Amino acid sequence: MKFTKLMTSVAVAAGLFTGPAAAEDMRIALVVKALGIGFFEAAAEGAEEAAKELGGVEIIYTGPTDTTAEGQIEVINSLIAQRVDAIAVSANDTDALVPTLKKAMQRGITVISWDSGVAEAGRQAHLNPSSNALIGNMIIKLAADHLPDGGEVAVLSATTTSTNQNIWIDEMNKVMGNYPGIEVVSTVYGDDLADKSYREATGLMQSHPELDAIIAPTSVGIVAAAQAVADAGKIGQVNVTGLGLPSEMAGAIESGASKSFAIWNPIDLGYSATMLAHQLATEAATAEPGAEISIGRMGAITLDETNSAAMADPFVYDASNIDAFKSIF
């Protein structure tokens, strides 16, 4: 009992400290894993963009100071006390937040998760940054875009048992028919270790002298492969592409070892999460399997049987935009 009292007083106190909002404004809370992370700051920027576009929406960007579920529960409790209209959360734990978020939904607050999901019982909908099929298509497209006459490509993956990478490679193989002339000559595994990935990339260039591109759908592998290509003096001959983070890949883009790579765009993600939360909170759309929901400039998403949806293709980064993003994440 004492604990409940304490929680209530904490929540009330938190409520007191937030400034008064115009009564008619819809308040959407963007709860992130932790404050001070570039990726989430960028997502908040996207959320503000959506708010401006929608009008009459106030964004409350908040989160704990460290990436713990406990911290997020406290934050969400105070948001419930503030009676926000919607909560969009990137969760630190799939299950730990469920009871608190259920409480929020019982009070009529719209709850969605984005980026890092919450178990089905704890949210009305979930927004994935992308889908396995879209990623699988994107990684081969990145390589093929720079090979108009076809060519040899090889895949440098993480470990032989990495679930994500294996699914993406499977999805990639399914769409190979759309890229005539592109041949995947080998798939090797760098185990997400810099030294092994470097050695595997070097080996690829030796055993396939005609190699045109290395696709690395893993952030350690893509950086190591770019370094191996640069050290082998094959910049311009072998293009390294795949999935990586702008901050980690800035050097490879600068040196030319990588022409382009992809990963989700946090600004678009924050924007879309806000749009989705707004649509559900205004009851312009309902969260049910098969529902098609419009998310502004990002088009429309379709909820699957678990009420999850994929936002879009991974966003492509190249020399034209790397400088703007390398300081973000």
Partner 1 sequence: MSALKSREAILFGAILALTTVIATRFPGFVTPTNLVSVFTDTSPLMILAMGQMVVILTRCIDLSVAANLALTGMVCAMINVAMPGLPMVVILVVALILGAALGAINGILVWKLSIPPIVVTLGTMTIFRGIIFLLTEGKWINAHEMSPHFTGFPRNEILGMPVLGWIGIIVALIMMVVMARSTMGRAIYAVGGNPHAAVYTGIDVGKTQFYAFVISGTLAGLTGYLWVARYSVAYVDIAGGFELDVVAACVIGGVSIAGGAGTVFGTLLGALFLGVVKNALPVVDISPFWQLAISGAAIIVAVAFNAKSGRSKGRVILKSAEHAQ
Which residues in this chain contact partner 1 in the complex, by CB under 8 A? 160, 186-189, 193-196, 198-200, 202-204, 206-207, 223-224, 226-227, 231, 247-252, 254-255, 326
Phi, psi of 118 (to 5 degrees): -110, 150
Q: How far is the CB of 168 from partner 1 (least distance, A)?
A: 17
3-state SS of the chain: helix, strand, coil percent to 5?
A: 45, 20, 35
Q: Which is nearer to partner 1, 202 or 218 (CB)?
A: 202
Distance between CA atoms of residues 86 and 120, nearest Å = 17
Beta carbon nearer to partner 1, 259 or 326: 326
Give dist(CA 47, CA 52) in Å, integer: 9
Cβ of residue 219: shortest distance to partner 1, in angstroms? 9
- Nearest one of 279, 316, 272, 204 to 30, comparing CA atoms: 272
**In the bound complex, what is the minimum distance in angstroms from residue 76's beta carbon to partner 1?**
24
Nearer to partner 1, 304 or 318 (CB): 318
Q: Is-contact 274 57, C-beta < 8 A? A: yes
Q: How far is the CB of 329 from partner 1 (least distance, A)?
A: 10
Is the CB of 15 or the CB of 203 nearer to partner 1? 203
Residue type, 244: G
For partner 1, the closer of residues 117 and 246 by Cβ is: 246
CA atoms within 13 A on the CB side of 60: 27
Place of tokens 């070892």: 257
How far is 160 from 143, CA to CA, in rounded Å? Answer: 22
Smallest distance from partner 1 to CB 155, Å: 11
Q: Which is nearer to partner 1, 126 or 326 (CB)?
A: 326
Supply the minimum distance, in Å, between the C-beta of residue 198 and partner 1: 6
Q: What is the number of H-type helices and E-type strands within the chain?
A: 11, 14
Distance in angstroms (rounded) separating the CA atoms of residues 142 and 160 = 23
